[in-house]
Amino acid sequence: MGAKLTTRRLGAAAATVVIALLATACTGSHSETASPAANGGSAAGSAGGSAGAPASASPTPDGPVVSISPAAGATSADPSAGVTVTAAKGTLSGVTVSPVGGTLLNSGNPSGPVPGTMNSASTSWHTQWALGVSQKYTVTATAKLNGVTKTTTSTFTTLSPASTFSTNIFEGGGQTYGVGMPVRLLFSQPIRNRAQVERALEIKTSKPVVGAWYWDNSETLVFRPRDYWPENTSVSFTGHFDGVQGAKGLYGFHTLTQSFRIGQSVIAVASTKGHKTQIYISGKLKYNWPISTGKPGDETPNGSYLTIEKANPVEMKGPGYDLMVPFSVRFTWSGDYYHDAPWSTGVQGSANVSHGCVNLSPARAQTYYNLAVPGDPITIKDSPRAGKWDNGWTEWFLTWRQLLAGSATHQAVQAGPSGSTFVDAVTLPASTAKAPTGTAASGIWGTGPK
């Protein structure tokens, strides 16, 4: 996989540390301090007090009123709820949430504060991501009202989950993929709180991209662009899973990061009826080659597929044959390839004689093999046989509307150099991409998801 995975192991040793922490240092604290002006006096003292005595720490009724959740002293706070700071009276001028000891995996800066966002009125602040599990935090909030500045602090500890999930990403670090490649995530446990998990995901792209998350099943989640990725796009993924509640009592305990690249656009379109395949490179038709596809009874299935893997050679077995086939590029799990087929060159361009694969001459097969990387689009059309969902990477069988329906949020994702946000799809400009070079002609090629 090649993913960079930072994990917090909750073994026996960690449990001992947590127990000791709760017993000795995690009782929590809560304090409030106000400026001298809050008492109507000066730093030299106030009526009824001796000169030089410290000002009272109690705010006047005219001062700000601040509340912090989780409550001070909590020892099993739900990390998925994050931190909320609210000024019932006054406005917030600053909030800092910092881990106490240990390493904060979700902060983006392990030694620094937890990121969060303030509302436009500066009356409410909330953490951007979930908090880490088994972690002690201190919250410091400063608010102002009528010239009175008050600072409130609170300390609490998040729970230690009894059950956790981990996540893997298919894309390898620094690897290059085709313009159709989805971001593919696999979870170790079934996910029920799917919207919460989606909102823990962040994508940064060097070029603007619109897409959506799609749940293929309870353990598989993919991000597919609405149209093909722009070629030569750098992609960085961060899964802020630490503290996310994936199902009742089931929490993530790590942050997953990965960076990879979308390379040159290489798109193949094959007609089983026309006995030709077109190869488009960087949006322009480069090759128009004769082919032979599946014979009657073994028809190559229609579909908008992606290249999965390639090898030179691949052993192919079937009724009456066992061959080592050079320059083979796979696009279905059932065993359909673009490959070298010197035995069928005499009928390539005029007849279908294969067992389901797309036959090419040796030189053409080698040319395509050298171009192909995982995620390059392959479209098979004009076949009497429908493709099947999940027989390969079949996300491009889906229309944009179907893709959105498979998201727990039912929202689109806008990504760019500064990160990603969820948006209502109806607010987006209509796509101008055209098949076959800009997007797939989806929805007509095969059976959809069940």
DSSP per-residue letters across 413-428: EEEETTEEEEE-GGGS
Strand 116-118 vs strand 124-127: parallel, antiparallel, or unpaired? antiparallel
Rounded CA gap, 437 and 267, in Å?
Answer: 7
Catalytic residue, chosen from 126, 240, 339, 410, is: 339
What is the per-residue burial (b if ≥16 Cβ within 10 Å, else e) of 221-240? Answer: bbbbbbbbbbbebebbbbbb
Phi-psi category of residue 36: left, alpha or beta, with phi > 0 → left and psi -120 to 50 → alpha: alpha
Cα torsion at 442, 446, 448, 450 (round to 10°)? -170
Active site (annotated) includes residue 339:
yes
Rounded CA gap, 54 and 52, in Å?
Answer: 6
Active site (annotated) includes residue 410:
no
Among 262, 292, 233, 227, which residue's Cα sits nearest to residue 436? 227
226: CB partners within 8 A, 6+ apart: 210, 211, 212, 400, 403, 412, 431, 433, 439
Among 344, 2, 407, which residue's Cα sits nearest to residue 177? 2
Strand, helix or coil at 5? strand
Catalytic residue, chosen from 240, 355, 357, 410, is: 357
Residues in the chain: 450
C-beta of residue 300 within 8 angstroms of C-beta of residue 336? yes
Please give the angle made by the CA atoms of 96, 200 and 187, to the nearest 5 degrees. Answer: 135
C-beta of residue 212 within 8 angstroms of C-beta of residue 395? no
Rounded CA gap, 83 and 93, in Å?
Answer: 16
Q: How many CB atoms lie within 10 A of CB 248?
A: 8
Alpha helices in 175-244 (DSSP H): 194-198
Half-sphere exposure of 157 (CA within 13 A, CB side): 24
- Scan for tokens 């790590």, then name that residue: 254
Q: How many CB atoms lie within 10 A of CB 129?
A: 25
- Scan for tokens 């929805």, then name that residue: 443
- Tell me the catalytic residues: 339, 357
